């Protein structure tokens, strides 16, 4: 604009003179132009530095929205997918903002800075998801073991003293059904790691419940036999049998 005004002012001069004057003016204006550009770039760098801090601080709320505390039963692949989308959203959004100003103003290593923050959040969330699944499995385990215990207690109460074969056969059936029900729930609903390990653990726990209930039933059996033997002894003594 200034050059245009200068050209209008000196238009009456010879062309060679006009060019020399214009070149001289442009040369003197160059440092001022460079200074203005540097000042603007510094201002943009400051703005994008603040924007980077804002982007980092926004990650926590974004993660909470995607992984609510009351509903953390995600699979590993689902969690990974959510964080991949979040990384694209956060990093891509910040990059677009920087490019809309000046790519030279983007902070060095901003991508790594944002990804490090996301990785830290992912580590925390993964641990929380694992804890949520551990609690879920524990509750499932306790519910099925409670039902199995009740069923074995009922069996013990209804099985006659000495009917060991009947008791063992019926208890085996109850244990098998309990394990099948537990395994079915694991296969249908459990989305974390080592399904087979969870099923093995329950089978072991179910066997322990059976061992305890069998011991109690056997103890009752032995007690009845003792009472019968004592009664017979008393009868022999009384009636000299």
Which region among 96-100, 136-140, 206-210, 226-230 has the lowest average model confidence (pLDDT)?
226-230
In a domain, 48, yes or no: yes
**38 and 90 part of one domain:** yes
Q: Based on the domain organization, do 105 and 26 belong to the same domain?
A: yes
Tens-place pLDDT, residues 45-85: 888 899 999 999 999 999 999 999 889 999 999 999 999 99
The verdict on 105 and 48 lying in the same domain is yes
Specify the number of domains making up the chain.
Answer: 2
Q: Please, what sign has the CA dihedral across residues 49, 51, 54, 60?
A: negative
Judge whether 240 lies within some domain. Answer: no
**Is residue 13 over pLDDT 90?**
no
Q: HEC profile for the chain?
A: CHHHHHHHHCCCCCHHHHHHHHHHHHHHHHHHHHHHHHHHHHHHHHHHHHHHHHHHHHHHHHHHHHCCCCCCCCCHHHHHHHHHHHHHHHHHHHHHHHHHHCHHHCCCCHHHHHHHHHHHHHHHHHHHHHHHHHHHHHHHHHHHHHHHHHHHHHHHHHCCCCCHHHHHHHHHHHHHHHHHHHHHHHHHHCCCCCHHHHHHHHHHHHHHHHHHHHHHHHHHHHHHHHHHHHHHHHHHHHHCC
**Per the domain annotation, does 215 fall within a domain?**
yes
How many whole angstroms separate alpha carbon 227 and alpha carbon 221? 10
pLDDT tens-place string over residues 146-179: 999 999 999 999 998 779 999 999 999 999 999 9
Using the 3D structure, point to which of 129, 155, 173 is the last residue of a domain.
Answer: 129
Do 120 and 213 fall into the same domain?
Answer: no
Nearest to 117 by CA among 61, 44, 50: 61
Say if 143 falls within a structural domain.
Answer: yes
Domain co-membership, 117 together with 72? yes
On whether both 140 and 109 belong to a single domain, the answer is no
Tell me how far apart the alpha carbons of residues 174 and 51 are, in angstroms, rounded to a whole number: 63
Q: Which two tokens stand for residue 94?
A: 């910040």
Q: Are residues 113 and 148 in the same domain?
A: no
Closest CA to 151 of 188, 179, 132: 179
Mean pLDDT in residue range 91-102: 89
Q: Let me know if residue 208 belongs to a domain.
A: yes
The residue from 65, 100, 129 where one domain ends is 129
Is 122 found in the same domain as 140?
Answer: no
Looking at the structure, do residues 140 and 195 belong to the same domain, yes or no? yes
CA dist list (Å): 95 to 63, 118, 140: 20, 16, 46
Is the residue at 241 inside a domain?
no
Q: Given 129, 161, 186, which residue is the final one in a domain?
A: 129
pLDDT tens by residue, 98-130: 888 888 888 999 999 999 999 999 999 999 999
Is residue 10 predicted with pLDDT exceeding 50? no
Of the pLDDT bands very low, low, confident and very high (cuts 50, 70, 90), residue 206 is very high
Range of the domain at 53: 2-6+16-129
- If asked whether residues 114 and 73 sit together in one domain, one would say yes
pLDDT in tens, 32-45: 444 544 567 788 88
């Amino acid at each position: 604009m200034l050059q245009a005004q200068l050209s209008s002012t000196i238009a009456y001069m010879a062309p060679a003179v006009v060019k020399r004057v214009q070149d001289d003016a442009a040369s003197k204006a160059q440092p001022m132009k460079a200074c203005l550009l540097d000042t603007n770039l510094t201002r943009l760098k400051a703005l994008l530095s603040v924007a980077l801090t804002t982007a980092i601080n926004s990650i926590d709320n974004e993660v909470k929205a995607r992984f609510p505390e009351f509903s953390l039963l995600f699979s590993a692949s689902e969690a990974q997918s959510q964080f991949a989308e979040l990384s694209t959203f956060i990093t891509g959004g910040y990059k677009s903002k920087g490019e809309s100003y000046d790519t030279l103003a983007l902070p060095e290593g901003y991508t790594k800075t944002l990804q490090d923050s996301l990785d830290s959040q992912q580590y925390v969330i993964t641990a929380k998801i694992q804890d949520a699944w551990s609690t879920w499995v524990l509750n499932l385990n306790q519910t099925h073991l409670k039902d199995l215990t009740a069923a074995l207690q009922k069996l013990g109460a209804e099985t006659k003293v000495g009917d060991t074969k009947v008791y063992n056969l019926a208890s085996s059936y109850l244990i098998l059904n309990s394990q099948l029900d537990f395994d079915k729930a694991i296969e249908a609903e459990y989305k974390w790691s080592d399904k087979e390990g969870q099923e093995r653990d329950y089978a072991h726990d179910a066997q322990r419940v059976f061992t305890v209930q069998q011991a109690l039933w056997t103890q009752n059996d032995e007690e009845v036999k003792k009472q019968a033997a004592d009664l017979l002894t008393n009868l022999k003594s009384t009636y000299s049998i």
